[in-house]
């Protein structure tokens, strides 16, 4: 019989796990609210490579470059926060709660700390023993994907077009390095032009923030509201002001476009939070290890 994730998985073995995680996450968020987006992204990047097995948290070794050191993950941060939460849980229940479960819980609590959605997190994930940087390149959808590529990427993980447009809404709290979108500003087709699917006034504004070669500046994905988890992202995408090619791509498909336009209004926010919760639960179940598979890591960066 296959084990399934379930709510209250640690009811007997570590009943206070969710309270500990919530308290530690609230402490972290009150000092560093901008960590919510990278931690949400870390959970997503974990789940899309080998399933939600905390492979993203493993450190590289002399003879193995781990996922966290691959190009798409170099801008992730928040590993120290996950370690901090893990050690608080270890103090109370040593060797019981997996790093994969902790990452799933911290992602949820960080989002809800920003008045975002909250959702029940089914637990029971086990930690994987393999982390390979090249696997990120084949499994993580980059910011320059078009709608066909995005839908295929999500479908390969059991997620549909609705999950794609809903989870893209997580960009409401995101920031991005200029280098993830400067191709849309400066030399889109090789003749010094900009991407016609990006609002030209917005192009002009972004050029004042990012030179063509800038790799360090961070830009808010949802200017003015990047610390609140809301539907403002859809308003921007509908105005052709989504930062990435993959944001603009949501207008190129009838189903995803309909979702964007119906949520580009303040009224859309309540069912967005509900939809986001549902898609996050679905994403959190991708390729999980359960039962006696994998292990429960003592420290998230190292296999036991």
Contact between 251 and 237 (Cβ < 8 Å)? yes
Please identify which of the residues 43, 45, 177, 263 carries the catalytic annotation: 45
Contact between 207 and 66 (Cβ < 8 Å)? no
Whether 127 has a binding-site annotation, put simply, is: no
Whether 171 has a binding-site annotation, put simply, is: yes
Whether 120 has a binding-site annotation, put simply, is: no
Cross-strand partners of 218: 177
Whether 214 has a binding-site annotation, put simply, is: no
Rounded Cα–Cα distance for residues 143 and 59 (Å): 25
Contact between 5 and 101 (Cβ < 8 Å)? no
Whether 275 has a binding-site annotation, put simply, is: no
43-72 burial, b for 16+ CB within 10 Å, e for fewer? bbbbbbbbbbbbbbbbeeeeeeebbbebeb
From residue 117, how far is each of 13, 197, 229, 230, 272 by CA, in Å? 28, 30, 8, 9, 8
- Asked about 263 being catalytic, the answer comes back as no
Rounded Cα–Cα distance for residues 45 and 67 (Å): 9
Whether 177 has a binding-site annotation, put simply, is: no
Whether 172 has a binding-site annotation, put simply, is: yes
Q: Which of 141, 179, 146, 118 is CA-nearest to residue 44?
A: 141
Length of the chain: 304
Whether 235 has a binding-site annotation, put simply, is: no
Whether 141 has a binding-site annotation, put simply, is: yes
Q: Which residue has the tokens 């191709």?
A: 183
Whether 8 has a binding-site annotation, put simply, is: no
Whether 271 has a binding-site annotation, put simply, is: no
Q: Which residues are annotated as a binding site for Ca(2+)?
A: 46, 49, 51, 53, 55, 67, 172, 222, 230
Q: Which residues are annotated as a binding site?
A: 46, 49, 51, 53, 55, 67, 141, 171-172, 222, 230
**Residues annotated as catalytic (active site), given as ranges:** 45
Q: Which residues are annotated as a binding site for heme b?
A: 171
Q: Which residues are annotated as a binding site for substrate?
A: 141
């Amino acid at each position: 019989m296959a084990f399934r994730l379930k709510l209250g998985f640690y009811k007997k073995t570590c009943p206070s796990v969710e309270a500990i995680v919530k308290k530690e996450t609230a402490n972290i968020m009150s000092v560093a609210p901008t960590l919510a987006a990278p931690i949400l992204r870390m959970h997503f990047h974990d789940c899309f490579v080998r399933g939600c097995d905390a492979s993203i948290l493993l450190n590289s070794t002399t003879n193995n470059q781990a996922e966290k050191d691959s190009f798409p993950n170099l801008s992730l941060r928040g590993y120290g926060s996950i370690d901090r939460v893990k050690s608080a849980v270890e103090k109370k229940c040593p060797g019981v709660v997996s790093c994969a479960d902790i990452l799933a819980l911290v992602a949820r609590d960080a989002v809800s700390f920003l008045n975002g959605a909250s959702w029940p997190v089914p637990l029971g994930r086990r930690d994987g023993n393999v982390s390979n940087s090249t696997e990120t390149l084949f499994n993580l959808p980059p910011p320059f994907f078009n709608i066909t590529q995005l839908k295929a990427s999500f479908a390969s993980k059991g997620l549909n077009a609705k999950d794609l447009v809903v989870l893209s809404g997580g960009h409401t709290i995101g920031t991005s390095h200029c280098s993830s979108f400067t191709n849309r500003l400066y030399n889109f087709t090789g003749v010094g032009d900009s991407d016609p699917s990006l609002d030209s006034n917005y192009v002009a504004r972004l050029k004042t923030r990012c030179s063509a070669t800038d790799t360090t500046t961070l830009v808010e994905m949802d200017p003015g509201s990047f610390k609140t988890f809301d539907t403002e992202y859809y308003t921007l995408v509908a105005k052709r002001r989504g930062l990435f090619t993959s944001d603009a791509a949501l207008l190129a498909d009838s189903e995803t476009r309909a979702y964007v336009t119906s949520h580009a209004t303040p009224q859309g926010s309540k069912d967005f939070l509900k939809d986001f919760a549902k898609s996050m639960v679905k994403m959190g179940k991708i390729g999980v290890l359960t039962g006696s598979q994998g292990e429960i890591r003592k420290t998230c960066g190292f296999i036991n």
